[in-house]
Structure 1
């Protein structure tokens, strides 16, 4: 049986602080951001928060719908590709003359590792859950 609930819980635990950071302190994510950019960052924080609410709804849903949870795990897993890409780019910022900002929630190395784990857990659980049918 695919570990669907732990994978969704992992996403929930990882993305809750991230969503709050984007919502409440967008200037930490993008120092010197324009007011318009801060609105976009807050919008992204709201989007992350909404994924957490969907996870919560499915975690407490009775009866459990494993197919739906597996599909959500697979979808959320694909999301984590982009934070991995962002962390990778930030880790190499000093090599390409990029702007190195304040470390937020552990910095790019921590983000890279955490999102790789989330990608593996969510995508793996989703695929196994879908194959189990």
Structure 2
């Protein structure tokens, strides 16, 4: 049996996405100032989706027995959740590139700003996909 590497990755996802989910659900204009009512609904929808990924993580974290800790399903869930983090990485990269351009003004830093987002989501991507792949290869 491979070492228990998927649970820390799932915990990292949970700790990263809980503040984001709450922000999108309860303060969508912090994410997108001046958002239209329809845009706020879309942002809240994203918050709900993030909360659902957190619930999946919680279920896996607290319902799998130690001897099943890195079973194939858990490993595949990690890989799937990891692929999500590509898109926040892309968003953070675009925000970092945009903030250096003249006339763009200073962007409001929400939950650490784009540099922090980039680093955290890169870590999540690596932990989830890497941990999932290593666990799958161990079978």
Same-fold status (TM-score > 0.5): yes
CA RMSD of aligned residues (A): 1.5
Equivalent residues, number: 133
**In the alignment, what sits opposite 1:125?**
131
From 108, 111, 125, the equivalent of 1:105 is: 111
Q: What TM-score do the two structures reach when normalised by structure 2?
A: 0.90
Mapped to 1, the partners of 2:93 and 2:64 lie a distance apart of 39
Mapped to 1, the partners of 2:103 and 2:126 lie a distance apart of 31
C-alpha contact 1:9 1:55 (8 A) present in aligned 2: yes
**In the alignment, what sits opposite 1:84?**
89
Is it true that 1:51 corresponds to 2:56 in the alignment? no
From 29, 32, 35, the equivalent of 2:31 is: 29
Ranges in structure 2 where 5+ consecutive residues have no aligned partner: none
For the structure 1 residues 67 and 7, does the alpha-carbon distance in structure 2 shift closer, same or farther, using more than 3 Å as the test? Answer: same
**In the alignment, what sits opposite 1:20?**
22
Ranges in structure 1 where 5+ consecutive residues have no aligned partner: none
Mapped to 1, the partners of 2:59 and 2:22 lie a distance apart of 19
